[in-house]
Amino acid sequence: MSERRKRVGLLFGGASVEHEVSVVSARGVAAALDAAKFECVCLAVTGDGRWLLPEAGAAVLAAKAPRVEAPAPDPGGRIVVDPGGGGLVAQGNGEGTRSVPIDVVFSVMHGWGGEDGRVQGLLELAGVPYVGAGVLGSAVGMDKRVAKQVFEAHGLPVGPWLAIDRDAWSSDPRSAREAVGAATAWPVFVKPANGGSSVGISKVKAAQELDAALEEAFRHDRTAVVEQGLDVREIEVAVLGNGSPEASVPGEIVPSNEFYDYAAKYLDNASTLRIPAPLDAATAQRVRTLAIEAFRALDLAGLARVDFFLENGSGKLFVNEVNTLPGFTPISMYPKLWEATGLAYPLLLERLIELALERADDERRRATRRGGHGG
């Protein structure tokens, strides 16, 4: 008798500005899942946070829609989470309430709410295994300020930077400007502390441009990170694993625009990905080692893409940031790096699901009242 296919809840959409990217990632994952081993259960989330029934989510992917919208007319059925460990439940739609069996959730819900620990906590409470980092690693990895502080505490190389809070900026913008001038030299990059896909990022070449860049960053988060602009190459490494993570071959991004912004990543299709990156053997090994150290420093699991700056001239390596839920679009770096390392896209997805289930089994060994242990 053949083994039952595992039901994979493919979670996508959501309230972040990366909603459209998430939908493209979901199509990539859905198309590559081995249908002989996995049943894809679409868990689509609208921009206002409504979890649609699986058939509605499947219709979004099949229709090539750019966003998740509720059906029209909307029958009203929704997926909800049982916070008592009862998993996912469908309610409404004239059917009453029924459970939605899910073996594991594969989330590609990028950005706010999806990769910052919020949905991870929700799935933990529901007792549903999921691909990727847990609550702590997701939250710290998403926050550029906290992540940089952790990297520095672990002795990892980080370029000059500082953080500015929106309230501090509003009350005393002059002091904030002076702090930027003291800590960095022009140009600088101004980013929302929590964000992804290069949304809200500005390159600031002179002091008179700083105010507008900070205001743009504050549209997306209450804290902005200001980083020293360096003459660098952009190197990325994909990491895969739980307790014994492995690093892919390094890749290099040559952006089509002045820096690797949203358009260069997703719209103009003109940026160049060099895989493997043209590096000498020592530098390639060094960047892979640092990637695993950064992964461990943030207490990550499953997957992450670690981004580096390699300074021209000096050859210094700096950890830029870690993406705990990298894109899975057809042009995304993470799957391309593993393909170049010898792990094809469908097998990569299968390995990520295995890692999620292994981690969930390990978590179940903890003493909890739900499991009948502990005092």
pLDDT given for residue 73 in this prediction? 87
Tell me how far apart the alpha carbons of residues 159 and 316 are, in angstroms, rounded to a whole number.
10
In the predicted model, is pLDDT for residue 367 greater than 60?
no
Contact 306, 250 (CB under 8 A): no
pLDDT given for residue 229 in this prediction? 93
Tell me how far apart the alpha carbons of residues 248 and 339 are, in angstroms, rounded to a whole number.
9
Reduced to 3 states, what is the DSSP secondary structure of residue 30?
helix
Reduced to 3 states, what is the DSSP secondary structure of residue 130?
strand
**Confidence class for position 12, pLDDT limits 50, 70, 90:** very high
Q: What is the mean pLDDT of residues 44-54?
A: 95
Q: What is the mean pLDDT of residues 3-17?
A: 93
Tell me how far apart the alpha carbons of residues 76 and 284 are, in angstroms, rounded to a whole number.
52
What is the rounded average pLDDT for all residues in the chain? 90
The whole-model pTM stands at: 0.90
Tell me how far apart the alpha carbons of residues 190 and 165 are, in angstroms, rounded to a whole number.
12
pLDDT given for residue 258 in this prediction? 62
Tell me how far apart the alpha carbons of residues 224 and 154 are, in angstroms, rounded to a whole number.
23
* CA angle, residues 264, 266, 267, in degrees to nearest 5: 75
Report the side by side order of strands in the sheet with 104-107: 38-45, 6-13, 104-107
Q: 258 or 301, which is more confident? A: 301
Q: What is the mean pLDDT of residues 56-70?
A: 94
What's phi and psi for 172, nearest 5 deg?
-150, 70
Q: 256 or 339, which is more confident? A: 339
Q: What is the mean pLDDT of residues 253-269?
A: 58
pLDDT given for residue 370 in this prediction? 54
Q: Report the b/e string of 6-26 with b at 16+ CB within 10 A.
A: bbbbbbbbbbbbbbbbbbbbb
Q: 336 or 94, which is more confident? A: 336
Give the whole-number percent of the chain exceeding pLDDT 90.
76
Residue 39, H or E segment: strand 38-45
Q: What is the mean pLDDT of residues 133-138?
A: 97
Tell me how far apart the alpha carbons of residues 309 and 230 are, in angstroms, rounded to a whole number.
8
pLDDT given for residue 256 in this prediction? 65
Q: What is the mean pLDDT of residues 125-134?
A: 96
Q: What is the pLDDT of residues 15-38, one digit of tens each?
A: 988 899 999 999 999 999 999 999
Round to the nearest angstrom and report the end-to-end CA distance of the chain. Answer: 41
Tell me how far apart the alpha carbons of residues 193 and 101 are, in angstroms, rounded to a whole number.
36
